[in-house]
Chains A and B, each alone.
Chain A
Amino acid sequence: MRGKLKLVFMLLFASTFVFILSACGKDSAGETDEDGNWKGKITIWDGPRWAQEGDTSGEEGKGNQYFWLEGKIEAFEKSHPGVEIELIKVPWAELPDKLGVNIAGQSWPDIAPVDISGSAVSIDHIDQGVIEPLDDFFTEDELKDFYENALDAYTYDGKLYGIPNSLTVHSMLLNLDLFKEAGVEPPANGEWTWDEFLDTAKKLTFDRDGDGKIDVYGFSTYILPGYYEAWPFFYMNGGQPLSDDLTEFTFDSPEAIESIQALADLKLVEEAAPVSMGGADVGGTFQAWANEEQRTVAMEPWATWAITSTQSSYPTNFMVANYPTGSTGEPVTIGGVGGWTMFHQESDAKKEVVAEFMKFISSTDEQYLMSKEYGIFPARISAAEKEPFADNPEMARAQEMSSQVVMLPRHPEWKKIDEIIQRELQLVFNGEKTAEEAMATAKPEVEALLQK
C-alpha cells in the first residue's frame, strides 16, 4: 500500500514537472514538407484597431477591434495549408513593456507592430540580432512605392528592418467653438507665425462667467520622456537636440533656448496656459481639450490618433493647424512611422512565410483600408494616391503636414538622452529653471552619453 502511494506521488510530481517544462518550451521552428512548403505556427502581436460598423460587442461596447487582422489571418491560412497564425491581442499602452519583457526572455513573437525608434525595439536590439532584415524579400520596384522617409525610419546601417505601413505627424488641434466664443479668427489655412499664435493664445484665455477666475486657456501641452507634442516648438527657430553627426548636444544653442523659453513663458509670463501645462498628465491634458464636460483649453498639439479619436469619441468642432513658424519661417513637426517588424528566426523557410504574411497585410489595398478606417497616413505612395481622406478634411490637412516632418535623432542612447532633456524641460515649464539653466545642466550628461 505504502509502495503504491509512493508511486502515485512520484507520477504526480513527474507529470507536474513535464507540464511545467513543456509550458516553458517553444515550438516555433516548424517543418518543411516534401514540396518545400513550410508548415508550422507563426505568432503575431497586434493592438486594437477598428471594429466593423455597428459592432458594439465586448465589455466596453467597442466591438471586435481585431477583426481586420483576424480576417487576413484566416485568408492566409486558407491559401497556405499547414500554416497556423496565432494572434496575441495586446493593448497598445502595454505593448512596449510586454515586448521588452519578452525580448529579455527571448520569447519574442514572429511579428509585432513596432518601429525601431526605441520605444519597444531599439538599434541595440538590431545590433544584437533580435530583428531580421527584410531586404531580400523586396525588389527595388516594390520599395519605390514607399515614401522615402517611411523607409528611412526602418533603415539602419543600410538594411531595412521592417515594413512601414503608416506615417503619423503631430499637429495643432483648435477648438473652433472656443475661438468663436472668444471672437478670435482661426489662422487662415492653418498657417501662422509664433507672434500670431501667441496673440491668439492670449485672446483665447478668458473668464467666461465673470467670477474673476480664468475658465478657458489658450494653450496647453505636457512634457514627459518619450512624448514629443511640445518639441516642434523647440525646433521653430532652427534649434535641434543633437548635431547632425550626433556628436554634440545642441539644445543649448540660442535658437533652441529662445524657443523653449518662449513656450514656457506662454504659461509663466503671459498666463495663457494652465498651471498644469508641462506636467506629466497625458490623459488629463487631452481631456481638458476634448472632453465635452471640460473643454478648458482651446488649442493643444497632438499626434494623428487624436484626430480620429476626437472624430469618433469626442465630437468637437475643430480644425487642424500647423505649428507656428519661428525665425526660420518654415513650419516644423515631429513625425513617426509605424509598421511591422520580424523578430529573429532560426529557420529560413519560416522566415520566407513570415515575410510573405507581412507583405500580405501591408499591400496597397490594406494600407488604404487602414488609413480610411484607422486614421493613419499610408506609407505606400499608391495607397495615398487612392485618397483615403477625400471625405475627411481634418485628416487630409494633417497629411499635408507630412512634408514638414523632422525625425528625432537616431542614437543608440536616445532614450536616456531624451529622459535627461525632458526632465530638465519639466523644470523649465514649472518655472524652477530658465531654459538656459536647464539645458546647461543637461549638456554634460547628454555629451557623456554621446561619447560612450
Chain B
Amino acid sequence: MTTTSPPTDPVALRAAYLERLAASDEPGAVAVALGALDAGVDAETVLLDVVAGAQREVGDLWAAGEWTVVQEHVATHISERVVAAVAQRAPAPASSALGKVAVACLDGEWHGLPARLLAEVLARHGWAVEFLGASVPAAQLATHLHRAGPDVVAISSSLPSRLPAARRMVEACHATGTPVLAGGAAFGEDGRWARAVGADGWAPDGRAAAAMLAADPDGPWFADEAATATGTPGDVPAREEQAVLHARRAELVRHVAAALRPETAGGPVGTVPDELADDLGHLVDFLAAAVFVDDPGLFDGFVRWVGTVTIPDGLRTGEVAAALDALAAALADSPRTVRLLRSAPGAHGGQPATVG
C-alpha cells in the first residue's frame, strides 16, 4: 500500500467518502469504498478508517446540530450498504476454530453500524460472528445465548443513556457464563462505565477488540480482575433511584416542560414540542444513567453538550438551569439524583456553565 497517490490514503479517502455521504450519493459512496479496495487498500482499513471514520464525523456534525437526524440516518443507511458491498467484494475468509462471537447493540441503541463494522472486522480475524442487529432486547439476547452458545458477547452502544440496559444484557450473559466485551462511546472515553455495568472488558474500537480477543478469548480483559469480579453494577440505592427516574420519565418531561414554558401546561401531551420533549427525555435518561453508574461526569457531559446545540423548539441554553431546578424539586426523595442535579454545570449552586 502506498500513501503517495490520493485514492489509497485513508484520510483522503475518508474526505471523499464523507463528501458522498453529505450528497446522499449511495452509488458514489460505494464507488469510493470499492475503488479503494481495487487500489489495494485492505478491507479493514476501508471499514474502520474510511467508513467508521466518516461516520464519526457524521455523528459530530449531528451533535453540533449541523445535520438533522434524518440526514444522519441516510448517511448511516448508505454506509450500511457500503459495508455490505465491501463484504461482497472482499469476503471474510472462512472462520477458523477461534470460537463464536455474538455482536449486539444495546436495547434502545439504534446505531447498528459500529456493531456491524465490528462484526465484519472480527469475521476477518477468524471468528464465527453472529450479528444480532440494532436495539436487541435483553430477552432476545438471552434466547440467542441459550441457542447458539457464543464464546463471547460483544455489546455496542454510543449513548451513555443506555447504560442501565447494558447492565441487563451483561446479567443475561453472565447468567450463562458468557463474558462480555463492551465497546462504543456509551461506556466512556476510557471505558470506565463498562466496568460499572459489570462488563468484563472494554475496547475503544474494532481493531482493539480483535486484538484483545486474539490475546485472550475468555476475559476478563480489565487489568484488575478483582474490581470486575466483585463489582455488582449499580448498588441498591443507585438502582432504585435509576428505576424511579425511568418510571417517572414521561411525567418528569411534562413537569419540566410546564415549568419552562407555562403555556404548554395542562394541555394534551402533543402541546409540548417534540424537540423539547426529546431533549428533556434525554436529560432524564442521562441523569438516570449517571445515577446508575454513580458518576456525575456522565451527566455533566450531557448538560454541557445540550448547552452547545441549538435546535429550534428544543431545550434552550437559557432554560437548562431552570430545567435542572424543576427536576431537583420533583425528585426531592432521591438524594443522589438531587446531588447530581445540583452539581451539574450551569445549575444554581453548581459549577458555572462552560457555554453561554
Whether A and B are associated in the same complex: the answer reads no
